[in-house]
Amino acid sequence: MKRKRTLAAVAALAVACALAGCADDDPGSAGSGGDITVAFIGSTESQVYSFPESSDAAKARFAAVNDAGGVNGRKINFISCNDKADPNEAAACGRKAAQAKAVAVIGGISAAGDSLTSALESAKIVYTGNRPLSPGELHSSVAFPLVGGGSSTAGGAGLYAVDTLKCRSIYVIDGDVPGNRAVAASFKAGVKAASGKEPRETVTPATSSDYAPAAAAAAGAGADCVYFAISVPEMPKAIPAFRRALPGATLITSSGNLPGPIIKALGADAEGFVLSDSQIPVTTTGNEYLDRFHAEMTKYTPSATQSPFALSSWMGADLLVKVMTGAGGDVDAASVLDAYRKLGSVEGHGVIGDFSFSDKGPLSDTPRLFNLKYTVFKVVNGVPTLAGAAQFGDAKPALEA
């Protein structure tokens, strides 16, 4: 559920300072006395991406920690900033986090990740919990994503389309937004790595009222599988046209592109959709860690959508709490960054694949992609559903091609 967050520069800074106890000394030097300030920065409402639930998820995790006594007795002061998918706003959010002495920033989805990571790197503030899209998020020394985001999810889907679905004529619908273009490129790389062939594609406007021409183009190409790299609001406009033009085709996208409300709106047109993600479906039952995510969201942010994006940010917040608790002594930006740099293996709790933070990720050109695991599932009776136990594939062959 969208909520407007007015973040005029003076007002937001005043609020942040009032909450965090800003002083005139260096950012990040809060010391061991009062509350620990943690920020969220992402595209919570914009014309490109709107995922307020990522901020809500971090808020819920920290509220639960505070109710349990805080981090070694210190409460977490949570502040949130909407970057509005705008580079200038993202940079301003980063500066505000530093001025508020935030020890770390939890991310979600940002269409302005380059500007954001540049600001956080200058302030030496950890950035985690995000789903990386931009070059900055894939290269910045302060970026510690728990999942590969669009890169591993889409690259893995490309491998899966060829090796498991046995697609032979694959078509890509690519929304003309930088994040979507990057996701489409990863999917195409996966297809090419598995088949040696480049799939055909149609690039559509960022927003469109008519997807019939794109669907006709895919049908004319004899597509048996279609991958969608378009923004979430475009999905209910696009999918019916493709179901009519290609009734027998397998439709594929990332799970974040098909959240529960969109699945419900599409009805029968969503059935059988193949979804890829770095995480198991949020609708999965029987996983204690996932159950805790749902319980905290329900208790502390009950109106928020419990989406895959919310889960990523919640997991980032949860790991941050563990890092801060184990750090001991002063908890400030410098000590948190040092702790993350020394952090080794990270448990995925069956929700994401286990992985390890190392000096560099396994790919030389995207050194901050530490976790390249992905999983695939389907929409069954209106619910994203795993076929048995979660199985995580490795998207590295797609991304290193």
Q: Are 16 and 102 in contact (CB under 8 A)?
A: no
Cα separation, 110 vs 232, whole angstroms: 14
Say how far apart CA 318 and CA 180 lie, in whole Å: 28
Return the structure tokens found at 335: 């000590």
pLDDT value of position 330: 85
Does residue 101 share a domain with residue 48?
yes
Tens digits of per-residue pLDDT, 162-198?
Answer: 999 999 999 999 999 888 998 999 999 999 999 999 9
Q: Which helix (H) or strand (E) holds 238?
A: helix 235-245
27 lies in some domain: yes
pLDDT for the residue numbered 36: 97
Give the rounded percent of residues in the chain with a pLDDT score beyond 90.
79
Report pLDDT digits (tens) over 79-90. 999 999 999 999
- Whether residues 379 and 264 fall in one domain: yes
* Pair 189, 236 in one domain: yes
Is 129 found in the same domain as 271? Answer: no
Backbone angles phi, psi at 72, to 5 degrees: 50, 40
Per residue in 268-309, pLDDT tens?
A: 999 999 999 999 999 999 999 999 999 999 999 999 999 989
Residues 261 and 229 reside in one and the same domain: yes
Statement: the pTM of the whole predicted model exceeds 0.85? no
Residue 200 sits in the same domain as residue 266? yes
User: Domain span at residue 330?
Assistant: 9-148+286-370
Query: For position 192, which CATH number holds?
Result: 3.40.50.2300
Closest CA to 300 of 76, 5, 18, 104: 76
Task: Express as a percent the part of the chain with pLDDT over 70.
Answer: 91
Express each pLDDT in 325-353 by its tens digit.
Answer: 998 778 999 999 999 999 989 999 999 99
Residue 1 reports pLDDT greater than 60: no
Does any domain span residue 1? no
- Do 348 and 296 lie in one domain? The reply is yes
168 plus 124 within the same structural domain: no
User: pLDDT digit string (tens) for 133-152?
Assistant: 888 999 999 999 999 888 89
In angstroms, the Cα distances linking 357 to 143, 251, 318, 362, 370 are 11, 34, 16, 10, 6
Any domain includes 97: yes
Q: Is residue 364 part of a domain?
A: yes
pLDDT of the residue at 380: 96
pLDDT of res. 328:
76
Residue 401: per-residue pLDDT: 67
Q: For 231-259, what is each residue's pLDDT tens digit?
A: 999 999 999 999 999 999 999 999 989 98
pLDDT at 33: 60
Q: Are residues 74 and 183 in the same domain?
A: no
356 and 264 in a common domain: no
Same domain (yes/no): 143, 154: no
Same domain membership, residue 69 and residue 46:
yes
Residue 2 lies in a domain: no
Is 330 inside any structural domain? Answer: yes
Asked whether the predicted pLDDT for residue 6 surpasses 50, the reply is no
Domain-embedded: residue 163: yes
Would 3 be classed as within a structural domain?
no
Number of structural domains the chain divides into = 2
